[in-house]
């Protein structure tokens, strides 16, 4: 999915992230809290998501408030990741400037040696987020650009359906 956040200055930023779950609370993903997206979410805990299916000519847009998942939820998910992915999360200072790719690979190799006989622990700067939706829009391409758009907005705990002009 595409995750869009914004810096305190209002400058938008978007990137692809892996959706790891949808619950009654919202849409879940995991990342380094010190990454650009993590820093932006700390300063402005709101985001937009876009899911796009070109072959079906459809997309879903979501906006909402973002909260961190609990330590227990982050630990539980981290433990399911392959060891190599856990080591990569530990080795990476995501979104930070590094001297070279070799430095990253050296750090990874160091961690690989350190944890060859055990499970690498979840770094404290890595975990999950939940986007709690307050608006969801479903879009389907229509002939002659007469697209179908349905928007659900949450008002006082109730979802209100509105049809939008293309």
Average pLDDT over residues 31-36: 96
Three-class SS of residue 71? helix
**Is residue 101 in some structural domain?**
no
**Is residue 94 in some structural domain?**
no
Q: Provide, rounded to the nearest whole percent, the portion of the chain with pLDDT above 90.
A: 93
On the question of pLDDT at 48 being above 90, the answer is yes
Query: Residue 34's pLDDT is what?
Result: 95
Query: Residue 50's pLDDT is what?
Result: 98
Cβ contacts of 65-72, under 8 Å, gap ≥ 24: 65/131, 65/132, 65/134, 66/41, 66/129, 66/130, 66/131, 66/132, 67/129, 67/130, 67/132, 68/33, 68/127, 68/128, 68/129, 68/130, 69/28, 69/127, 69/128, 69/129, 69/130, 71/127
- Give just the sign of the alpha carbon dihedral 49, 88, 125, 119: positive
Three-class SS of residue 40? helix
**Is residue 96 in some structural domain?**
no
Q: Which two tokens stand for residue 76?
A: 């539980």
| Residue tagged active-site, from 145, 151, 155, 163 | 145
Q: What is the DSSP letter of 142?
A: -
CA distances from 23 to 27, 48, 60, 118 (A): 7, 17, 16, 31
**Is residue 145 in some structural domain?**
yes
> Residue 56 sits in a domain of what CATH number?
2.30.110.10
* Helix intervals (H) in 11-132: 36-43, 71-80, 83-91, 101-114
pLDDT tens digits, one per residue of 117-126: 878 999 999 9
**Is residue 21 in some structural domain?**
yes
Q: Note the pTM of the prediction, 2 decimals.
A: 0.91
Whether 149 is catalytic is: no
pLDDT tens digits, one per residue of 127-139: 999 999 999 999 9
pLDDT tens digits, one per residue of 50-79: 999 999 999 999 999 999 999 999 999 999
How many structural domains does the chain have? 1
**Is residue 117 in some structural domain?**
no
Contact between 110 and 41 (Cβ < 8 Å): no
Average pLDDT over residues 2-21: 96
Q: How many CB atoms lie within 10 A of CB 159?
A: 12
Domain range holding 153?
2-78+125-164
Query: Residue 95's pLDDT is what?
Result: 85
**Is residue 28 in some structural domain?**
yes
**Is residue 83 in some structural domain?**
no
């Amino acid at each position: 999915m595409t995750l869009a956040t914004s810096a305190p200055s209002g400058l938008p930023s978007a990137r692809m992230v892996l959706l790891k779950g949808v619950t009654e609370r919202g849409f879940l993903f995991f990342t380094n809290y010190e990454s650009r997206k993590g820093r932006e979410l700390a300063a402005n805990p709101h985001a937009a998501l876009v899911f796009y299916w070109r072959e079906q000519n459809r997309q879903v847009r979501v906006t909402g408030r973002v909260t961190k998942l609990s330590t227990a939820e982050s630990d539980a998910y981290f433990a399911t990741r392959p060891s190599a992915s856990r080591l990569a999360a530990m080795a990476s200072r995501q979104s930070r400037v590094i001297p070279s790719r070799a430095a990253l690979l050296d750090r990874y190799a160091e961690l690989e040696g350190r944890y060859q006989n055990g499970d690498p622990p979840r770094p404290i700067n890595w975990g999950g987020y939940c986007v709690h939706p307050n608006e969801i829009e479903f879009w389907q391409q229509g002939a002659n650009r007469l697209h179908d758009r349905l928007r659900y907005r949450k008002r006082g705990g109730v979802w209100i359906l509105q049809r939008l002009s293309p």
